[in-house]
Amino acid sequence: MSDHYQVLGVGRDATGEEIKKAYRKLARKLHPDVNSAPGAQDEFKAVTHAYEVLADPQKRRIYDTTGNENGNDNGFGGGAGFGGQNFGFQDIFDTFFGGGGGGGRGPASRTRRGQDALINVRIDLKDAVFGTNKKIEVDTAVTCPTCDGSCCQPGTSPRTCDICHGSGQVQRAVRSILGQVMTSAPCGSCQGYGTVIPDPCHECAGEGRVRSRRTLNIKIPAGVATGTRIQLGGQGEAGTAGGPQGDLYVEIRVNADPTFVREGDDLHATLTVPMTAAALGSSINFETFDGDREIAVKAGTQSGEVTTLKGLGVTHLRGYGRGDLLVHLHVETPQKLDAEQEELLRKLAQLRGEEYAEGRLAGSGTGVFARLRDRLGNH
């Protein structure tokens, strides 16, 4: 017995689609109606039988394991030739006509799964840090409450199509290279469903679903960010004719916060410190999402220094713990001084050896103003 994989010209790891493509190519070439060369008919029978075995997962498994089909290694086997009943006429028809033929498919089903739906939900940054529960209103298709998805007016039911007699298909003769061939197509009277609805539901117009607004309670986990999508299975559009609902996807949009900026799972904030507090040292209460925290400002603090509060950032979405809160200190220089305040600062400058006269620094003092002067002088 020849090797079926070699007959079709495919590897033993070929997929079902690759096997089907190889068979179609060879069938077009070797079919007796298009190839009258000696031996072509026998080759066509071998190709057809090889496809019959390898296209059936169970037969292919037995063949790969034992090297034969059902323990029988006697050539083509019964019913494997062109006139046999096992190789599937639909594949031959698809080979020459591109599909759409062959009876036996049965009527189509009106029932279809509903589409998925997507909505955007806005939350505050604090909700993203800790998570929250939120009520949302969704406008989607739901199963018709009047007909309960049957598409029929209550008290009525679908009727078998008089044209196709419930098969959903009508046959017609087509002339081809194979001669006159009977093909089938969806019935135009019932649209291929095999039944017609003589009295459609008045509320849903025979679709089995209607539009409705409903309220859902959703749980938004801690750690979400803008762009995060939450999938709610079976909460999307209802399908036609009582079909199952699709899924609902909730896409998160996080509002900007006036105090905190998020970077990954860390939060950043700026704390303004008076010049005197920065010079003398102090402690300042700072309001976080977890309540007030005391920020220690050491004497001599400069603008740009950062105080890190561990574990006060955003909760990790796919793990445990939280990021950090980084507080950036900004030393504020007073802009408006009265005469007394200005005099006090002049005295401070003199005490520190920082000569200041007529709006200019003088001398080579090493105080803060001298360092500022030197820094500016280098630019």
**Residue-wise pLDDT tens for the chain (379 aa)?**
578 888 889 888 888 888 888 888 888 787 766 677 888 788 888 888 888 888 888 888 888 877 776 544 443 333 333 333 344 444 555 544 444 444 446 788 889 999 999 999 999 999 999 999 999 999 999 999 999 999 999 999 999 999 888 988 888 777 766 567 777 888 888 989 999 999 999 999 999 999 999 999 999 999 999 999 999 999 999 999 999 999 999 999 999 999 999 999 999 999 999 988 888 999 999 999 999 999 999 999 999 999 999 999 999 998 789 999 999 999 998 888 888 988 888 888 888 887 665 555 554 444 444 454 454 445 4
57-66 helix and 40-54 helix, angle to the nearest 10 degrees? 100
- Strands (DSSP E) found in 222-350: 229-232, 248-254, 261-263, 266-274, 282-288, 291-297, 306-309, 325-332
CATH label of the domain that carries residue 247: 2.60.260.20
Torsion of CA 21, 23, 26, 28, to 10 degrees: -80
- Do 124 and 240 have their domain in common? yes
Instruction: Work out how many domains the chain is built from and give that number.
Output: 4
- pTM value is 0.60
Taking Cα atoms as reference points, which of 40, 38, 131, 44 lies closest to residue 83? Answer: 44
Domain boundary among 254, 282, 317: 254
Kindly give the pairing relationship between strand 291-297 and strand 282-288: antiparallel
- Do 360 and 346 have their domain in common? yes
- Do 214 and 284 have their domain in common? no
Domain that holds residue 20: 4-97
Cβ proximity of 187 and 170 under 8 Å: yes
- Do 316 and 349 have their domain in common? no
Cβ proximity of 57 and 125 under 8 Å: no
- Do 30 and 128 have their domain in common? no
- Do 21 and 90 have their domain in common? yes
- Stated as kind and residue range, the H or E segment containing 119 is strand 117-123
- Do 61 and 129 have their domain in common? no
- Which residues sit in the known binding site? 144, 147, 161, 164, 187, 190, 201, 204
- Which residues sit in the known binding site for Zn(2+)? 144, 147, 161, 164, 187, 190, 201, 204
CATH label of the domain that carries residue 93: 1.10.287.110
What are the tokens at 230? 């939450």
- Do 77 and 17 have their domain in common? yes
Residue 181 belongs to some domain of the structure: no
